[in-house]
Amino acid sequence: MNAALTPAQLLASLEWRYATKAFDTRKLPDATWAALEESLRLTPSSYGLQPWKFFIVSDPAVRAKLRPVSWNQTQVTDASHLVVFARRTEITEKDVNDFFNQMVSERNADATKLEPYRQMMLGGVVNGKDAAGQKEWAARQLYIALGQLMGAAAALAVDTCALEGIDPAAYTEILGLKGSGYEVVVACAVGYRAADDKYAAMKKIRFPATRVIGRV
């Protein structure tokens, strides 16, 4: 394993990042993007169920269609990469079984000993939540992935901008996801900041630790 970032380096990368409003058109190196894409795949999720799919939109024509349903934000078309985060529209027993069977296989585990965990997943998500509850739960998992991507990008000196100012239903339609079992929740532009983005030099505004961190 490579040497970890020092605490100072980690904090410097997080201070450096901001919600980039203007991207230039430089493309990320292939190795850099591959690492960020893998960071998405490695995102943790509740129970490990991964109720998501990440769509990397590279086609300029598709990105041009998405921009008008994104408050005409230039990041949609200008950034090196556009990631669209979609949740499962329904969490089924098959979803649980697919994860469970992979876990048993890859860990060479005894399925009978792990059966209580499968039942817990079924009770907690499949049978324990109605349709609205499942969607809300899946959306929370997506935001874990969004945060992981943005943090990983900052560590590699890559800029990001989370895009909640989008029409998820329009995105779902434009990307041809209707009936696929997935629907869009949020997006993220990834790339390099434009030299003239005035927001890059603005002071980061955060409440003091005494307000947002409690100790028990």
What are the tens digits of pLDDT across the range 176-188?
Answer: 999 999 999 999 9
C-alpha 210 chain-centroid distance: 29
Q: HEC string of 5-61?
A: CCHHHHHHHHHHCCECCCECCCCCCHHHHHHHHHHHHCCCCHHHCCCEEEEEECCHH
**pLDDT given for residue 69 in this prediction:** 98
What are the tens digits of pLDDT across the range 42-93?
Answer: 999 999 999 999 999 999 999 999 999 999 999 999 999 999 999 999 999 9
pLDDT band for 29, please (50, 70, 90 cuts).
very high
Q: How far apart are CA 171 and CA 162, in angstroms?
A: 15
pLDDT at 131 over 70: yes
Q: How many helices (H) and strands (E) does the chain have?
A: 9, 4
Mean pLDDT of the chain: 97
What are the tens digits of pLDDT across the range 163-215?
Answer: 999 999 999 999 999 999 999 999 999 999 999 999 999 999 999 999 999 99
Q: How far apart are CA 16 and CA 122, in angstroms?
A: 42
Phi and psi, residue 3, nearest 5°: -60, 140
pLDDT band for 11, please (50, 70, 90 cuts).
very high
What are the sequence ranges of the domains in the chain?
33-89+134-203, 92-128
By the 8 A CB rule, do 99 and 48 touch? yes
Domain 33-89+134-203, CATH 3.40.109.10 — does that match? yes
**pLDDT given for residue 1 in this prediction:** 67
